[in-house]
Amino acid sequence: MIRDHMKDADYFEGFLDFHDARIEKFENVAATLIEERGAEDKGVHSLFIALNVFYFSKLIAMYSAGRPLDEVKDFLPDVVNSMERSKDPLVHESYDYYVETIWLSSIGIMLEVDQGLWSRIEQLLSIYHDQDALAEFLLNRNMKSRKTKFFINRPYSKLYGVITSTHQDVKKLADYLRHHWYPAHDIAGWHDTHGIDDFVYHGYWSFESGAIVKILGLDDNSLKDVPYYPYDMVHYKG
């Protein structure tokens, strides 16, 4: 059953077909370029950056389209590989790479990936460990150090009261989802894409909210129908 109702099932299936075709095309071009110029060529890395957009968009669209969670989970190694290939020395300053890393880590936590894959995700997330309370929380599955700074303040600093609370504080998370999460991402390339007919809208999901609930063991019954909350992913059992 489709999970995101901003678009219909036909749209998401078309989106996934389009992205599969783009991934295949760009992977073939990258393979040819590596053979001709070597893996360290700048053009190859540019292709890897473009491919990462396709891989990540496909991952989110799979969830939005209602694909089984095991199928989403099976695609994660491809996304991790893409993230590793597209990494460069400046990712520690990148808004987009940070958001993708937070989401990827959160999905990994909710879908209970194996330790081998999680170790690779940890390496990506650790880029932001010293700069970000949310990254530290996802890495440690707790907030023992009480780090207060966030790599991106809007909207993520709104989560501080949730991840540091000593009691169940689902109301703060509901407020974050309803009033802060979407509008605070207004500089993201995917923001406001639901009104575009082309295959650019992959769905809007606050995966970090789901990971926080899973880590803290919060009662999320009241969040089930709150926009952007990935309820069934939180309750995945492999």
Is position 7 within any domain? no
Contacts of 155 (CB under 8 A, 6+ apart): 176, 180, 181, 183, 184, 185
Asked whether the beta carbons of 177 and 228 are under 8 A apart, the reply is yes
Print the domain residue range for 136.
68-234
Is position 61 within any domain? no
The first and second tokens of residue 60, run together, are 């989110």
Task: Supply the mean pLDDT for the chain.
Answer: 94
Asked whether the beta carbons of 91 and 126 are under 8 A apart, the reply is no
Asked whether the beta carbons of 56 and 79 are under 8 A apart, the reply is yes
Helix axes 95-110, 69-86, angle to 10 degrees: 150
Is position 115 within any domain? yes
pTM of the model: 0.96
Burial 157-181 (b: 16+ CB within 10 A, else e): bbbbebbeeeeebbeebbbbbeebb
Please give the tally of structural domains in the chain: 1
**Residue pLDDT, tens place only, 9-36:** 999 999 999 999 999 999 999 999 999 9
Query: How many whole angstroms separate alpha carbon 67 and alpha carbon 60?
Result: 10
The first and second tokens of residue 31, run together, are 């393979």
Is position 142 within any domain? yes
Is position 18 within any domain? no
Q: What pLDDT does 114 receive?
A: 97
Q: How confident is the model at residue 147 (pLDDT cuts 50, 70, 90)?
A: confident
Is position 62 within any domain? no
**Residue pLDDT, tens place only, 172-222:** 999 999 999 999 999 999 999 999 999 999 999 999 999 999 999 999 999
Q: What pLDDT does 113 receive?
A: 98
**Residue pLDDT, tens place only, 43-87:** 999 999 999 999 999 999 999 999 999 999 999 999 999 999 999
Is position 128 within any domain? yes
Has residue 154 got a pLDDT over 80?
A: yes
Is position 10 within any domain? no
Residue that has been written with the tokens 């406001």 in this structure:
192
The CA-atom distances, in angstroms, between 45 and each of 58, 82, 84, 150, 193 are 20, 11, 11, 28, 26
Rg (the chain; Cα; Å): 18
Q: How confident is the model at residue 144 (pLDDT cuts 50, 70, 90)?
A: low
Has residue 145 got a pLDDT over 70?
A: no
Closest by alpha carbon to 87, among 45, 47, 34? 45
Alpha-helical runs (H) found in the chain: 9-37, 42-65, 69-86, 95-110, 115-125, 133-140, 160-163, 170-175, 207-216, 231-234
